Amino acid sequence: MVKSLLRASAVVFLALSGVFAKGDVRYLPVTVDISNYMLNQPNLFVKVDSEEVVFNAQEGHAIERVVNGDEVIRTFDLSQEAPKTVVKHIDDNYVIVSINVEPSLNLAYKHNGDRFVEMDITEFYETVFFKGLENVVVDLDAFSTSGYFSSSDFGPGKMYEFEIPSRRISKLVAGNTVLVSGVDELLLGVVVHVNGDRKVATVWYVFKPDGRIKEIFFQLINRTWTRVDTKTAAEALHFINPNFSVGYKPIYDGFSVACVSFTLIAIAFAVLY
């Protein structure tokens, strides 16, 4: 069954289930055996459905090893990384295991022959979340009239979220201006917050060169969608909805669309649920 784009957008939300260990935080180690989900595994919450099995480490624990019976798929140093979630994706054509290492980073492994091998993260998203979906170009100038966005209240303002089960965003534009080309970016989601003339768009995507999830913002300034930093976006979002914190800190990588060369210097660590 083709997974909807809403499911893909859950990749973005999914990071909320993972916590990256920093500083003096210490976690007790847990081993996830993806071959054993019918029996209780110590210190894990396991959720099973027809398409996936989700393993979540209980509070105070982190996933040190991911195994398939006797095969070790991945081992982590919990002093450096503290994965909290592992998902086994099941389909007639594949078995794939994804690991939430930290909010901006997922690792994926596919079953190949008699063992699991690491796969390119872009291939993972394409295979599990986007296969069979129609590509669409989203125009921020027409977000409220395109039929691609659902609307809901956002305090005194409105929130418009890209929400079409059979389609995916291939490119983000504003009229004739390309905002995110989709060449180096695998777009995951777009949300626009509005209150009067104040409009802010939040965009999430996987940056293909480093495999990490990025979160960027555009604000409508003088009728032009302009890339802004997190601080400026948070102030505008607070104006739209006073309950939104002006001190907002993203859980994903902040990133400038125009600064590809800078990002290549800092290749590092993405999420699933």
- At residue 253, the pLDDT reads 82
Q: What percent of the chain is modeled with pLDDT above 90?
A: 76
- pTM for the full model? 0.81
Q: Is the pLDDT confidence value at 37 over 80? A: no
pLDDT, one tens digit per residue, over 190-202 is 999 999 999 999 9
Q: Is the pLDDT confidence value at 15 over 90? A: no
What number is the average pLDDT over the span 84-90? Answer: 96
More confident of the two residues 14 and 109: 109
What number is the average pLDDT over the span 39-62? Answer: 91
More confident of the two residues 193 and 14: 193
pLDDT, one tens digit per residue, over 88-135 is 999 988 999 999 999 999 999 999 999 999 999 999 999 999 999 999
- At residue 254, the pLDDT reads 66
- At residue 24, the pLDDT reads 63
- At residue 82, the pLDDT reads 94
Average pLDDT, the chain: 85
More confident of the two residues 74 and 262: 74
**pLDDT category, 21, cuts 50, 70, 90?**
very low
pLDDT, one tens digit per residue, over 136-174 is 999 999 999 999 999 999 999 999 999 988 999 999 999
> Where are the chain's structural domains?
5-130, 134-265
3-state secondary structure the chain: CCCCHHHHHHHHHHHHHCCCCCCCCCCEEEEEECCCCCCCCCCEEEEECCCEEEEEECCCEEEEEEEECCEEEEECCCCCCCCCEEEEEEECCEEEEEEEEECCEEEEEEEECCEEEECCHHHHHHHHHHCCCEEEEEEHHHCCCCCCEEEEEECCEEEEEECCCCEEEEEEEECCEEEECCCCEEEEEEEEEEECCEEEEEEEEEECCCCEEEEEEEEEECCEEEEECHHHHHHHHHHHCCCCCCCCCCCCEECCCCCHHHHHHCCCCCCCC
- At residue 25, the pLDDT reads 77
